[in-house]
Amino acid sequence: MYARITGTGSYLPPQAVTNHDLVARGIDTSDEWIVERTGIRQRHIADERQSASDLALEASRAALGCAGIAPEKVDLIVVATSTPDYIFPSTACLLQDKLGIKGCAAFDVQAVCSGFAYAMAIAEKFIRSGSHRCALVVGAEVFSRILDWNDRATCVLFGDGAGAVVLEAAETPGILASALHADGSYNEILSVPGNVCGGRVIGSPFLQMDGQAVFKFAVRVLGDVAHEVLQHAHMPQEAVDWLIPHQANIRILQATAKRLGLPMDKVITTVDRHGNTSAASIPLALDVAVRDGRIKRGDNLLLEGVGGGFTWGAVLVKF
Ligand code: ACO
C-alpha cells in the first residue's frame, strides 16, 4: 500500500501588502533592502476575522475539489500550524467541523516551518499501515498575528496563507521516502517565547530570530536531508524534476539548489509573492506549480522544510 497525492489546493487572503506598503505604514525599511536580502516583494495578510482554520478550510475545499473527493470520504485530518486558532481545540478539529464532517481522526502538528513535511510523513505512515485511506494534510498559518510590526528585522519576512493536499491509499507510489529530524538545542535562534499563565501572556508573544544563525543552519540541513531521502529511494539527484523547498528566503533557496547541483529553473519559488508562510509555504508552492501546469503526473518532487525547534524534514514524491 502506498500514499499518493490525488489533489492539491491553496488559499491566500485577498489583502496583498507590498514592501512599498510597509514603508508607507511607517516601517523603517525599503523595497531594495527586502528584495536584495530576501527576494520578497509582497505578502498576503489575513483579515482580522480570519483565523488559521478559515484559511485551511478554503485550501482544503480546493484540494478536495481537485481530487474529486467528498469531505465525508476523509478519514484523517492533519493540520500543520504554529498559529492555531486556540490553544485547544486543535485547528484540525475546527477544520473538520467547518468541512461539515464528524468522526474521523483530526490533530495538529507543531513543527513550525517544517510542519508540512512532518504532517505528510505522519499521514503517509497512517495510510501505509492500512489503518486509514484518505488523508487531508494541511499547512495553515496567520504569522501576521505573532509579529512585532515595529521590528523591521522580522516583520518584513512573513505572510499568511494555507495549502492542502489529499493523500489517498494507492497501489503505486506515491510518497517514495521521507526523513524527519530535530535538534532542540537550537531552540533559541528562532522562537516565540510567550506563554499563557492565569489567562495572560507571560514573556514575548512575538517572533524572535537570529537571522544569520538561521540562514547557516537552514542551508546545511536542507542539503543534508535532501541527500538523505534521495539515498533512501535510491534516486539520483538528476531524477528530481522539481525541488519545492520551504519558502523562507530566496538566498536560502539558491544556496540549497546549488548544494544539490540543481538549476534554479527546477526550483518552485513563491517567496517573492507570498513571503514566508511557515508550514503553509510548501503546499502553497506545490499547488501554484500544479495549477500553472509545470508539475505533471509522474514528476519526481522533493519537498523539504526547516524551521523553529530546530526541525527539518524532506518528503520525496512521485506525483
Ligand atoms: N530594512 C532595512 N534594514 C534592515 C532591516 C529591514 N527590514 N532589517 C534589518 N536591517 C538592518 C539591520 O538593522 C542592520 O543594520 P546595521 O548594519 O546598521 O546594524 C543591517 O540591516 C544588517 O542586518 P543583518 O541582520 O545583519 O542582515 P542580514 O544580512 O543578516 O539579513 C536576514 C537579515 C534577511 C534576516 C538574513 O539574516 C536571513 O535571510 N536570515 C535567514 C532568516 C530567515 O529566512 N528566517 C525565516 C524564518 S526561519 C525559516 O523559515 C527557516
Catalytic residue among 66, 93, 104, 113: 113
pLDDT at 35: 98
**How many angstroms does the Cα of residue 252 sit away from the middle of ligand 1?**
13
Catalytic residue among 66, 246, 249, 274: 246
42-44 and 16-18 strand pairing: antiparallel
State which of 31, 37, 158, 310 you would mutate to test the pocket of ligand 1, scoring each by most atoms of that ligand within 8 A of its C-beta: 37
Residues flanking ligand 1, CB < 6 Å:
29, 33-34, 37-38, 113, 152-153, 156-157, 190, 209, 211-212, 214-215, 218, 246, 248-249, 251-252, 276, 306-307
| Distance in angstroms (rounded) separating the CA atoms of residues 153 and 125 | 38
How many CB atoms within 10 Å of residue 170? Answer: 16
Task: Evaluate if residue 56 carries a pLDDT over 80.
Answer: yes
Residue with cell 477544520: 95
**How many angstroms does the Cα of residue 104 sit away from the middle of ligand 1?**
43
pLDDT at 197: 78
The superfamily in CATH containing domain 176-318 is: Thiolase/Chalcone synthase (3.40.47.10)
- Please tell me the least confidently modeled range out of 42-46, 108-112, 240-244, 257-261: 257-261
Residue scoring higher pLDDT (199 or 222) = 222
**Any idea where the domains of the chain sit in the sequence?**
2-171, 176-318
Kindly report the protein residue whose alpha carbon is nearest to atom 25 of ligand 1.
Answer: 211
Amino acid at 43: R
**pLDDT of 1-39, one tens digit each?**
899 999 999 999 999 999 999 999 999 999 999 999 999
276 flagged as catalytic: yes
93 flagged as catalytic: no
Q: Mean per-residue pLDDT for 222-251?
A: 96
Query: 202: pLDDT confidence band, cut at 50, 70 and 90?
Result: confident
Rounded mean pLDDT of the chain?
96
pLDDT at 198: 79
Long-range contacts of 37-40 (CB under 8 A, 24+ apart): 37/249, 37/251, 38/156, 38/157, 38/249, 38/250, 38/251, 38/271, 39/249, 39/250, 39/251, 39/253, 39/269, 39/271, 39/272, 40/156, 40/157, 40/249, 40/250, 40/271, 40/272, 40/275, 40/276
Rounded percentage of the chain residues whose pLDDT exceeds 70? 100
Task: Evaluate if residue 196 carries a pLDDT over 80.
Answer: no
Calculate ∠ Cα 9-15-19, nearest 5°: 110
Question: Which grid coordinates belong to 222?
Answer: 536542507
- Do 2-171 and 176-318 show the same overall fold? yes
**pLDDT of 82-140, one tens digit each?**
999 999 999 999 999 999 999 999 999 999 999 999 999 999 999 999 999 999 999 99
Within the chain, strands assigned E span 2-11, 16-18, 42-44, 76-80, 105-109, 134-142, 160-170, 175-182, 190-191, 195-197, 200-202, 208-209, 242-245, 300-307, 311-318
Task: Evaluate if residue 247 carries a pLDDT over 80.
Answer: yes
**pLDDT of 203-219, one tens digit each?**
889 999 999 999 999 99
Query: 222: pLDDT confidence band, cut at 50, 70 and 90?
Result: very high
**How many angstroms does the Cα of residue 153 sit away from the middle of ligand 1?**
5
197 flagged as catalytic: no
Closest CA to 282 of 315, 246, 258: 246
The superfamily in CATH containing domain 2-171 is: Thiolase/Chalcone synthase (3.40.47.10)
| Distance in angstroms (rounded) separating the CA atoms of residues 275 and 9 | 18
